[in-house]
Amino acid sequence: MTTERSQPARDGHDNKRPDPDDDTHRPWVKNYPPELDFFAQIDTSPITERVRNACQKYGDKPALDFLGAETSFKTIWERTEQLCGALQKELGVKKGSRVALLLPNTPYYVFAYYAVLLAGGTVVNCNPLYTVKELSHIVGNAKADIVVTLDLKMLFEKAETLVEEGAIETVVVCPFANILPTLKSILYRLFKSGDVSNPAKSPIADRVRHFDDLIAANHKAEPAALDVDKDVAVQQYTGGTTGLPKGAMLSHANISANVSQIDMWCVGEYNPRAKIVSIIPFFHIFAMTTILNAGLVNGMELIMLPRFDLKDTLALLRRKKPNMLIAVPSLTHRLMTDPMSKKEDLSCLTFCVSGGAALPKETREAFEKRTGSGRVVEGYGLTECSPVVTCGPVHTEFKPGSIGMPFPATDVKFVDLEDPTRQVSIGERGELLVKGPQLMLGYYENDKANAESFVDGWFRTGDVGYVDEDGHLFLVDRIKDMIIVNGFNVYPKNIEDALYHHPDVEECNVVGMSDPEKGEVPVAFVKLADGARQTEEAMKSFLAEHISRVEMPRMILFRDELPKTLIGKLSKKELREELRAELEKD
C-alpha cells in the first residue's frame, strides 16, 4: 500500500510574477511580440481540471489516434476517473503517493497520467529504454510503490525484475493488443504472441493487477484537494554532473503554468481544429507539456505513434493530415530531408516547434521549403522548468542562432561565471539563470543539489550565453558536463562508469560530438590495460548491458594514451578539439 509523504520545502525560492516596476533590466520587453504581455497573469489551475473541462466540452470529438484506433475526449475522462477510483480504493494511492509510468506513447499513458494526478499522487516518468539498474535507481529514489506498464515482454520483464528486487510492490499491466484497431489487434494476437508476456505465469503473479479488471470495478474517483503551489504533480528525473538522476519536483502550478505560457506564446496555433503529431515520448518533459497537456487542454487531436519510424510517420501524415509537429531536431531533419519524404506528404504541416537541442539552419530551411508555407519556432527549456523557458517569435522574424525571448512572466539573467551573484552587461557572456512560475520546487531529498542549483531564488541552468540589446538570448557553451542526444540528457560519467566495469579498460573519457540529426552524440576514448585486445563491437556489446541505447557511444576509439591536465586529471578539451577537427575535415 502507498503512504502519504510530506514534501520538502521550496528551499527559499519563489515563483512570483515579475514586477513591472522592478528596475531589473529586461531588454526583451520593449521588443516583445506585440500580441503578448510579458507581465501577464498566468493560469495555474490544476491540469486535471483543465483537461476535464476540455473533455466535457469536446465530448465525442476524437482526442487520440493510436495507429488508427480513435479515443474520444469523453472516453479519456471516463477511463481517467475509473482508473483513479481503482488506484485509490484498491491500491491506496493518495496525496504524496508516487506512481511510476513505464509506458511508451499509448492511450494507457494518457489514462494513467491523469488518473494519478486526479488522485493527488505524483507521476514518476520512466524511459522504457532504460536498463533495470537505471529504473531501479529512479523508482527507489522516488519511493514509488506501483509501476504501470504494458504486457509486452520487453517492458513487463523489467517491471517483473523491479518487483523481484524489492524496488516496486505492485505492477499494473495493460494489454497492448486491446488498444489496436480491430484488424491490427487480431493480426497482432496471431503473429506477435511471442512478444507478449503471460503475467499469470509470472513469479510475481500475486503482485500484478490488470488494467481491465481495475476499470471494470468502476470505483468512484474522489479527486484530491490540491495545493497547486506545493503539491508535486510530476517527479521528473534528470541527471546531474555526476550522472546520477535527480528528481525534479514539478508542482501542479508549475506544469499548468507552462501550458498557459505555451498557449499564449503560440497565439492561436493550439486550437480545437488542429491535429498534432505525437511521436516524441510523453515520458519526456518536452512532449508531456507541449503535446499531451497543451494539446488536450485546447481540444486538439493527438496523432500517436509509439516510436519514430519514417515510413509509419509518412503514412500517418497522409492519413490524418495533421498541421502541427512538435519534435526534436533529429526527427524533423530526417522527416524533411529523406528522399522518401514527398512534398505532398508534408504540405499539411503548417507549424513546428523544435526543442531539446539546437535546430540546424539546413533543417529549418528544409521544413519551410518542403511544407510550402510551414513555420518553425525553436524553444529552449530544462526539465526543472517544466520545461520551456524561451522561444523564438511565432509571427515575426527570428534571429539566427537565438533561442528566442523569455516566456511571459519568466525572468532570466546572465551572471558572472565566477560570481553568480553579479549580473553581467548586455552582450557579455555569463551563466543563464531563470525564475518563473514554471520553475520546480526543488530536487527531491537532495539538499546538496538544491544548494548548488539556486542563487537567491534563481535557478542556475549551467548554460553559458548572452542577451543582445533587442532582448534575444543566445547560448554559446555549457558548464555542466552533459551531452544532449535527441533532447535527452546524457552524462559522460554514466558511460565512463560502465566502461570501467570492463576488466580490460584502464582509462576512459567520454565527450560529445556534433551530429546533424541528433544534435550531439557521445564518443568514448579508451586506453586498454597492458596486453589487452578489444574490438569496438565487443565493447559496445558489453556496454549494452549497463547503459541505455540513447547513451551508447557513436564510436569507441582506442588510444595508447589519453590526454591529461598538468595535475594528472583526464582532460576532455583535447578530445573535443580532435573530434571538431575531424568534422571540419569532412
Instruction: Note the pLDDT of residue 329.
Output: 82
> Residue 586 carries which side chain, given as an amino acid letter?
D
Q: Please report whether residue 158 resides in a domain.
A: no
Q: What is the spatial distance between Cα 283 and Cα 132, in angstroms, rounded to a whole number?
A: 17
* pLDDT average, residue stretch 333-354: 91
Q: What is the spatial distance between Cα 316 and Cα 470, in angstroms, rounded to a whole number?
A: 40
- For CA atoms 163, 165, 167, 169, the dihedral sign is positive
Tell me the per-residue pLDDT of 221-272, one tens digit each, with 9 for 90 and over: 999 999 999 999 999 998 544 457 899 999 999 999 999 999 999 999 999 9
Q: What is the spatial distance between Cα 158 and Cα 169, in angstroms, rounded to a whole number?
A: 13
Tell me the per-residue pLDDT of 535-553, one tens digit each, with 9 for 90 and over: 999 999 999 999 999 999 9
pLDDT band at 574 (very low <50, low <70, confident <90, very high): confident
Residue 6: is its pLDDT beyond 60?
Answer: no
More confident residue, 523 or 517: 523
Is residue 305 within 8 A of residue 331, CB to CB? The reply is: no
> Residue 94 carries which side chain, given as an amino acid letter?
K
More confident residue, 518 or 118: 118
Q: What is the spatial distance between Cα 474 and Cα 400, in angstroms, rounded to a whole number?
A: 9
Instruction: Note the pLDDT of residue 16.
Output: 64
The residue range of the domain holding 562 is: 483-585
Q: Please report whether residue 518 resides in a domain.
A: yes
Residue 457: is its pLDDT beyond 90?
Answer: yes
Calculated CA dihedral for residues 51, 55, 58, 63, nearest 10 degrees? 80
Q: Please report whether residue 495 resides in a domain.
A: yes
Tell me the per-residue pLDDT of 44-84, one tens digit each, with 9 for 90 and over: 999 999 999 999 999 999 999 999 999 999 999 999 999 99
Mean pLDDT across the chain: 91
Q: Please report whether residue 561 resides in a domain.
A: yes
Tell me the per-residue pLDDT of 430-443, one tens digit each, with 9 for 90 and over: 999 999 999 999 99
More confident residue, 493 or 380: 380
Q: How many C-beta atoms lie closer than 10 Å to residue 507's C-beta?
A: 17
Q: Please report whether residue 284 resides in a domain.
A: no
Residue 389: is its pLDDT beyond 60?
Answer: yes
**Number of domains, the chain:** 1
Instruction: Note the pLDDT of residue 568.
Output: 58
pTM exceeding the 0.95 threshold for the entire prediction: no
Is residue 454 within 8 A of residue 13, CB to CB? The reply is: yes
Residue 372: is its pLDDT beyond 70?
Answer: yes
Q: Please report whether residue 554 resides in a domain.
A: yes
- Strand ranges (E), 430-554: 430-435, 442-443, 454-455, 458-467, 473-478, 483-485, 488-490, 505-515, 519-528
Residue 422: is its pLDDT beyond 70?
Answer: yes
CATH number, residue 502: 3.30.300.30
* pLDDT average, residue stretch 362-385: 90
Q: Please report whether residue 406 resides in a domain.
A: no
pLDDT band at 516 (very low <50, low <70, confident <90, very high): confident
Calculated CA dihedral for residues 347, 293, 17, 464, nearest 10 degrees? -60
Instruction: Note the pLDDT of residue 313.
Output: 96
* pLDDT average, residue stretch 322-343: 89
Tally of helices (H runs) and strands (E runs) in the chain: 18, 27
Q: Please report whether residue 563 resides in a domain.
A: yes
- Strand ranges (E), 342-446: 351-354, 375-381, 388-391, 402-406, 411-415, 430-435, 442-443
Identify the three-state secondary structure at position 53.
helix
Q: What is the spatial distance between Cα 442 and Cα 457, in angstroms, rounded to a whole number?
A: 11
